[in-house]
């Protein structure tokens, strides 16, 4: 039970750090655990890959990125997470000794949860759009 609380605390700390980072629009530090979460492809393959969040360009009016850029970044991050999980699953099935089953399961669950969160966000946006469209003019 204590181990679960430690894991939850670590996840909450990472989420808070990511939120603070997004609010400040500061690139992640190399030794920061948040930077490891932001670029999962680099962890598995050991290669340099493009961080989807680094493609976000600030708009000319303010320092904050546009909604479209933020949503595209979120989609790219979910896609990268799914690709990592699929790659790990394939490597495990092929008998790669460097890939353990718990790591595969964790990556798969992360990909699943991130996809579900993105799907719920999309559903809320569609509901909001429908509500706005049904407003009397």
The answer to whether 35 and 28 have CB atoms below 8 angstroms apart is yes
Determine the Cα–Cα distance for residues 106 and 136; give it in Å rounded to an integer: 47
For residue range 52-92, list pLDDT tens digits in order: 444 445 445 557 788 888 889 999 999 999 999 999 999 99
Determine the Cα–Cα distance for residues 132 and 121; give it in Å rounded to an integer: 17
Residue 64 has a pLDDT of 79
Tell me the pTM: 0.52
DSSP letter string, 4-59 = HHHHHHHHHHHHHHHHHHHHHT-PPPTTSHHHHHH-HHHHHH-S----GGGG--B-
Residue 60 has a pLDDT of 52
pLDDT grade for 51, boundaries at 50, 70 and 90: very low
- Checking if the pLDDT of 104 tops 80, the result is yes
């Amino acid at each position: 039970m204590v181990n679960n609380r430690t894991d939850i605390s670590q996840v909450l700390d990472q989420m808070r750090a990511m939120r603070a980072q997004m609010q400040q629009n500061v690139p992640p530090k190399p030794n920061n655990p948040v930077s490891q979460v932001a670029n999962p492809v680099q962890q598995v393959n050991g290669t340099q890959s493009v961080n989807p969040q680094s493609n976000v360009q600030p708009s000319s009016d303010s320092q904050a990125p546009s909604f479209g850029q933020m949503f595209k970044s979120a989609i790219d991050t979910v896609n990268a997470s799914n690709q990592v999980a699929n790659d790990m699953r394939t490597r495990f099935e092929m008998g790669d000794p460097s890939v353990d089953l718990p790591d595969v399961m964790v990556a798969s669950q992360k990909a699943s949860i991130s996809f579900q969160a993105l799907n719920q966000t999309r559903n809320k946006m569609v509901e909001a759009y429908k509500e706005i469209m049904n407003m009397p003019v």
